[in-house]
Amino acid sequence: MEIQIEKDLSIDNRSSFFFKIGELLMVFLPAALLLSLTRSWAGEDPIKTQSLVWVAYAIMLIMIWVGLKLRGKSWGEFGLTFESLSFKKALNVFGLSLVVFVLGVAAFVLGSILMASFTGIPESADYSKYNFLKDNLGLLMLTLGGVYVVSSFGEEVVFRAFLINRISEFGTSSKYTTALAVVLSSLIFGLAHYEWGPMGMVQTGFMGLAMGICYIKLNKRLWILVLAHVYMDTLLLVQMYMASN
């Protein structure tokens, strides 16, 4: 009887392992295939490229939701709650989001400094792909709206909430597997920005590491990270808009 129980548990553990692997593939593989198969269609068109990225993130968010449903869980597992806040709590969330914003930007700058120390100071960034924003404040507002949903919200759900929580499940020691999950998620986050070049991947990787640490230290209060990401994306897009003009 004891041997049979151990055998059954072993089967359950293997099936759980394969379910976790399948869930990761379910989230990332369709989006990766979409971007790969449509690369030639988008070409150098920045609007087409950005639109495909947005669709890819929408697919990943849908797949994450499907995974939660299969597990019998809700978004609350990731710290993504939708409860109303009192003025005091809202003020607390805003204050913490500013702290996370500063830490994220500091990590981004640190990545720049470390990368520059090895490769030298790179040439000025090419802002030509943002020329569609030139003298078009309305398009800037529209782009910001899309970025807030896809990047500010989507990236935090995918690379912080989903990846950190799911990678953490593969180990037996919660302390060390969580630390490893934060590091791995930041590496994947950096690699996801491969179009920014080596410097950009290191910068976003360091930023992802800071955001991941904040996610854990703040007890997975994801909205705080989303707000901090909103500030970063606003700063970036306004900078691109001004550069294009």
Q: What is the pLDDT of residues 215-238, one digit of tens each?
A: 999 999 999 999 999 999 999 888
**Of 23, 41, 73, which residue constitutes the final position of a domain?**
73
Which pair of tokens denotes residue 160?
A: 């912080």
Q: What is the pLDDT of residues 9-58, one digit of tens each?
A: 343 444 588 889 999 999 999 999 999 999 889 888 877 888 899 999 99
- Residues 216, 145 share a domain: yes
Which pair of tokens denotes residue 121?
A: 């100071």
Judge whether residue 6 has pLDDT over 50: no
Give the integer Cα–Cα distance in Å for 78 and 54: 21
Q: Is residue 28 in a domain?
A: yes
Judge whether residue 211 has pLDDT over 70: yes
Number of domains in the chain: 2
Q: Is residue 222 in a domain?
A: yes
Give the integer Cα–Cα distance in Å for 206 and 163: 16
- How large is the greatest C-alpha to C-alpha distance in the chain, in angstroms? 76
- Residues 69, 130 share a domain: no
Rounded to the nearest 10 degrees, the angle between the axes of helix 222-244 and helix 197-217 is: 150
- Residues 145, 235 share a domain: yes
pLDDT of residue 136: 80
Give the integer Cα–Cα distance in Å for 187 and 203: 11
Q: Is residue 227 in a domain?
A: yes
Q: What is the pLDDT of residues 127-175, one digit of tens each?
A: 566 677 777 888 888 889 989 998 999 999 999 999 999 999 987 767 7
Domain assignment of residue 90, given as a range:
85-244
Q: Is residue 79 in a domain?
A: no
Q: Is residue 80 in a domain?
A: no
Those residues whose C-beta lies under 8 Å from the C-beta of residue 10, and which sit 6 or more positions away, are none
- Residues 102, 35 share a domain: no
- Residues 103, 3 share a domain: no
CA nearest to 64, candidates 147, 143, 151, 160 = 160
